[in-house]
Amino acid sequence: MQPDAPVLIVVPTYNERENLPRLLDRIHHVLPAAHVLVVDDGSPDGTGDLADARAAADARVHVMHRQGKLGLGTAYIAGFKWALARDYEYVFEMDADFSHDPEALPRFLEAARDADVVLGSRWAPGGGVVGWPLKRKLMSRGGSIYARTVLGIDVRDVTGGFKCFRRRVLEALDLDAVAAVGYGFQIELTYRAAQKAFRIKEIPITFADRVAGQSKMSAGIFAEALTLVWKLRLGLR
C-alpha cells in the first residue's frame, strides 16, 4: 500500500553506520514516497556524516544532529516536533538495526486507515521474536504483562517500539510532559494516547535481534520502565 498522505519515519541512531544505508534502501523500496528523519546523537562511528551524505543526494532523507547520547525518548520527541512543524500525516517510530522489518511498513499504513496509533506487536497472535535467549523473551513479555496490568490498558506489547501515529495524536499529546528517556518512553506514550481515547490497534510483527552493531538495552533501562508504570498509574508524572 502506498500512503494517501505524507509519511515520516523517525529513526534514532547511535553508531549505526553499518545498518543505516541498507535500512534507507529497504524503506524506500517498499515506500518510495516516504521521508526519513535520522536523529543522530553524535555517533563517533560517523553515522551522522553518512546520513548527511545521503540527505545531500536524496530529498527524502533528513538529518537532525544532537550533541551526545541524550536518550531514545528525547530523540523521538525531537523527531515528532520536527514532523509537526511540517505537513506529515503519518509519523513512524523505527529502530535502525533491522529489528523492525521495513517490509511491514505498508501494513501499518493499511491499519492506520481505521486507527490513530498502530503498534507492531511481538505478543499479538502471529507475532514473535527471533534470535533472543529465553531469559530475554521472558523479561520482555513479562514486562509488557506487568505494564498493561498496572496501567489497565488493553495492549499486549506495551514496550514495543515499532509504531505509527496519526498526526492528530501527536498534536493532542503534551510532548514536553513525556519524561521517560529509555524504553519506558514506549510505555508512557502508548498510555498517554490511551488516556485520550485514541484508537490503538496492534498488528503482529516478527522482531529480529540485531545482526550488526551493539544493543542499547541495559538493566538500568529495564528498571526505569518497571518503576515508570506506577508513576503513570498514580499520576506522579
pLDDT digits (tens, 9 = 90+) for 164-213: 999 999 999 999 998 777 678 899 999 999 999 999 999 999 998 755 54
Mean pLDDT of the chain: 90
Residue 127's pLDDT band, with cuts at 50, 70 and 90, is: very high
For residue 122, is pLDDT > 70? yes
Predicted pLDDT of residue 2: 67
Residue 1's pLDDT band, with cuts at 50, 70 and 90, is: low
pLDDT digits (tens, 9 = 90+) for 45-91: 999 999 999 999 999 999 999 998 888 999 999 999 999 999 999 99
44-61 CB burial, b ≥16 within 10 A, e <16 = eeebbebbbebbeeeebb
- pLDDT above 90 covers a percentage of the chain that reads 70
Quickly count: other Cβ atoms within 10 Å of residue 168's Cβ.
12
Predicted pLDDT of residue 213: 47
The helix/strand/coil state of 35 is strand
The domain ranges of the chain are 7-233
Q: How far is CA 44 from CA 57, 61, 68, 221, in A?
A: 22, 20, 9, 22
For residue 11, is pLDDT > 70? yes
To the question of domain 7-233 being in CATH 2.40.40.20, the answer is no
Contact 43, 14 (CB under 8 A): yes
For residue 218, is pLDDT > 80? no
